[in-house]
Amino acid sequence: MTQLLIIGGSDAGISAALRAREVEPSVDVTVVVADAFPNYSICGLPFYVSGEVSDWRGLAHRTVNEIESKGIRLLLNHTATAIDPAKKNVEVVDKSGQKQNLLYDHLVIATGASPVRPQIVGLDLPGVYLLHTMEDSFRVHQHVNETNPKTATIIGAGYIGLEMADAFRHRGMQVTLIVRSEVLRSTVDASMARVVEDELHRHDVEVIKQVDVESIRRDGSRVMVSGSNGFRKSADLVLMALGVRPSSGLAARAGILTGARGAIRVNREMATNLRDIYAAGDCVETWHRVARQNTYLPLGTTAHKQGRIAGENAVGGHRPFAGSLGTQVVKVFDLAVARTGLREDEAQAAGFTPFSHEIKVWDHKAYYPGAHELLIRVTGDRRNGRLLGAQMVGHWQAEVAKRIDVFATALFHAMNVEELNDLDLSYTPPVSSPWDPVQMSAQDWVNAKERNIG
Q: Which residues are catalytic?
A: 43
Cβ neighbours of residue 111 closer than 8 Å, sequence gap 6 or more: 7, 8, 80, 247, 248, 250, 251, 281, 283
Parallel, antiparallel or unpaired: strands 328-332 and 293-295: unpaired
The rounded distance, in Å, linking the Cα atoms of 122 and 266 is 37
C-beta of residue 260 within 8 angstroms of C-beta of residue 296: yes
Cβ neighbours of residue 145 closer than 8 Å, sequence gap 6 or more: none
C-beta of residue 336 within 8 angstroms of C-beta of residue 401: yes
Nearest to 262 by CA among 250, 275, 274: 250
CA distances from 295 to 66, 259, 381 (A): 34, 8, 21
Angle at CA of residue 403, ends 334 and 296, nearest 5°: 85
Q: Please report the beta strands in 277-436, taking only residues with DSSP state E, as ranges in sequence order.
A: 277-279, 286-288, 293-295, 328-332, 335-341, 354-362, 373-381, 387-395
Q: Write the DSSP string, 223-239.
A: EEEEEGGG-EEEESEEE
By the 10 Å C-beta count (0-12 exposed, 13-18 middle, 19+ buried), 56 is classed as: middle
Q: 123-161 in b/e burial notation, b at 16+ Cβ within 10 A?
A: eeeebbbbbbbbebbeebbebbeeeebebbbbbbbbbbb
The rounded distance, in Å, linking the Cα atoms of 178 and 229 is 13
Element (H or E) spanning 217, and its range?
strand 213-219
The rounded distance, in Å, linking the Cα atoms of 245 and 114 is 5
From the CB of residue 437, how many other CB atoms can be counted at a distance below 10 Å?
A: 26
Element (H or E) spanning 403, and its range?
helix 400-412
The DSSP call for residue 366 is T
Residue 349, helix vs strand vs coil: helix
